[in-house]
Structure 1
C-alpha cells in the first residue's frame, strides 16, 4: 500500500503545495480494519497537502475522516464512532534523535525525521490509530459490581478499596462525640 502513495521528496516542487487525496476501498480498507483490530471501517478519507517549509523541511497538513466500529469495553457490542480530525506532520531534515533513555517525547509532537519519501497512507493509518477511542462504550453500558473471593469469606467491594472511604464515617463519629 505504501508504494502507491509514497511521495519522493526530491521530486516535490518547492514553490507550490502537493495535494493528496486518499479514499481507500475494498481490500485496502479491509487490511487497515484488520491491522487496527476494528469490527468495521467505513468512509475512510485523508485529504491534504504537502508543502515546503524553508529550504529543506516539509509540512503535511490534512483532514482525516472515518467511521469506525469497535467492541464496547463493557458489553462487547459494536460501538460506532465518527472521527473527523486535523492531522499535521513536520518533517525535519536536521532531525535530532534524543539519545537519553529517559527522554520523553511530548504527546502533541508532530515532528518526524525527513527521509527520502513521505507516505500519506502510512500517516493516515497512524493518525487513525491515534484518534480511535481507547475505551469505546455503548450508551448506558455500565460495569456491574462483581465480587471474587475464597469460599466462606466476604468479598471485598469497590467501597472497601477506597482509601479514604472510612475516614468520612470516623470524622462524623468524632464530631458527634464533641
Structure 2
C-alpha cells in the first residue's frame, strides 16, 4: 500500500466528561492518496464525524460515522460503479501499560474473533490519536469487495431445457443416456 497523506491528530489529554466532537473532511490531495491506495476509479468525497469520550480511568472511546462517495471498477465488466458509503464504527483506546495490566493466561492470549463482540482496545501512544489511518481503515472495511455494474453477470444465462455445450459434464450426460 502506498503512503497515505491523510492525517488528523486529535489531542485526547483533556477530554473532560462531555468529550469532544470533530468533523473531518478530506481534501483533494488526501482523497487522491486514498484513491490510489485502494485502487478506486474515483473518491469524490470523504468526511467523518467522530465523538471521543473518556473510557474508564485511562481510556478513550470513539464513536464515528464515515460518509464517502466512491467509484469502483465492476469486477465483471470494469465499468465504473458509483457508490455511497455511510459507515458507523466504534473503537476504544488504552495506554499500553493499561493493556499490559490486564492479566492473561496462555489460553486467553490467543486471538479469537467473535463477530458480535467488541474489538479489544487499540494502544494509545502519547496524548493524541491520528484519525487519518483510522478513516482509511474504515473506508477499506466499508468498500464493496465485489462491485458490479447493473446487469453485469459472469456468464450468459442458460435457457431452461437447453443443453450447455461448454459444460464438462455434457459429454458424460450423453454417455449416461445411452
Please give the TM-score of this superposition, normalised by the length of structure 1. Answer: 0.72
Aligned partner of 1:5 in structure 2 is 8
Please state whether the residue corresponding to 2:99 is helix, strand or coil.
Answer: coil
Partner Cα distance (2:16, 2:135) in 1: 23
Partner of 2:99: 95
Deviation at 1:42, TM superposition (A): 1.4
Residue in 2 that maps onto 1:104: 112
Match of 1:115 in 2: 125
Cα pair 1:12 1:18 within 8 Å, conserved = no
Q: How does 1:2-81 map to 2 (within 5 A)?
A: 5-9=8-12, 11-81=13-83
Give CA deviations for 1:15-37 in whole Å, capped at 9, x if unaligned.
23122111112211111111111
Instruction: Name stretches of at least 5 consecutive residues in structure 2 with no aligned partner.
Output: 157-164
Cα contact 2:31–2:45 (8 A) shared by 1: no
Name structure 1 gaps, 5 residues minimum.
Answer: 146-153, 161-165, 171-178
Residues 46-94 of structure 1: CA distance to partner in whole angstroms, max 9, x if unpaired? Answer: 1121111121011111110001111101101011110001111111333
Q: Bigger CA drift: 120-129 or 108-117? A: 108-117
Q: CA deviation at 1:156?
A: 4.5
Q: Is 2:134 aligned against 1:130?
A: no
Aligned-pair distance for 1:102? 5.9
SS at match of 2:152: coil
SS in 2 for 1:121: helix
Q: CA RMSD in A?
A: 2.9
Q: TM-score, normalised by structure 2?
A: 0.72
| Deviation, structure 1 residue 40 | 0.4
Deviation at 1:107, TM superposition (A): 4.8
1:148 maps to none
CA contact (8 A) 1:95 1:114 kept: no
